[in-house]
């Protein structure tokens, strides 16, 4: 099973409301984009963070930072504003190519999700319009290139 699908299966099994939002989402919308890590956004609440951490631990991933879901939820503003943390990163110590970033600066509440069929099953991704808005708001050069690629698909 592809890593992306393993991540999605683990999150779905835990009942997490999530969407793929990074380079994988751009590619699944149809733009050419290479990426290694899987970026996810959650419905922002403590229960989602706790369930997500548990799902990722169960598939062999560990946090790069010594923080807990409670820490991330309670100190989110501190992490974002004073520590420049936009994602809580998990990786597989036995296969560093397996990485997941939980985007902590975004909430899925009220957002459009699209289920896309992949070889390993359906994957929920952020809708194209919302993905463009999210990437434009980040202002990072790669995200702005992704915006151009997504807009060309319209």
Label residue 19 left, alpha or beta by phi (over 0 means left) and psi (-120 to 50 means alpha). beta
Angstrom distance (rounded) from CA 88 to CA 79: 10
- Residue-level pLDDT at 35: 84
Assigned domain for 59 exists: yes
| Prediction pTM value | 0.95
Domain-located, residue 152: no
State how far the alpha carbon of 82 is from the alpha carbons of 41, 75, 77, in Å. 21, 10, 8
In-domain check, residue 150: no
With respect to residue 154, please indicate whether it lies within any of the assigned structural domains: no
Half-sphere exposure (Cβ direction) of 99: Cα atoms closer than 13 Å: 15
pLDDT of residue 34: 80
**108, part of any domain:** yes
Residue 74 lies in a domain: yes
- Low-confidence spans in the chain with pLDDT less than 70: 1
Please report whether residue 151 resides in a domain: no
- Residue 41 is predicted with a pLDDT of 98
| pLDDT value, residue 1 | 56
Query: Domains in the chain: how many in total?
Result: 1
């Amino acid at each position: 099973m592809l890593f992306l699908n393993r991540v999605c299966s683990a999150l779905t099994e835990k009942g997490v409301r999530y969407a793929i939002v990074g380079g994988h989402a751009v590619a699944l919308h149809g733009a050419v984009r290479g990426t290694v890590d899987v970026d996810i956004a959650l419905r922002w609440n403590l229960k989602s963070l706790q369930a997500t951490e548990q799902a990722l631990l169960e598939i062999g991933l560990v946090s790069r930072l010594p923080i807990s879901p409670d820490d991330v939820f309670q100190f989110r503003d501190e992490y974002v504003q004073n520590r420049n943390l936009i994602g809580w990163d998990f990786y597989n110590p036995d296969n560093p190519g397996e990485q997941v970033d939980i985007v902590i600066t975004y909430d899925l509440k009220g957002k459009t999700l699209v289920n896309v069929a992949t070889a390993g099953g359906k994957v929920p991704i952020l809708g194209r319009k919302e993905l463009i808005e999210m990437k434009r708001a980040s202002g990072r050069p790669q995200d702005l290139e992704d915006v151009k690629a997504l807009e060309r698909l319209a």
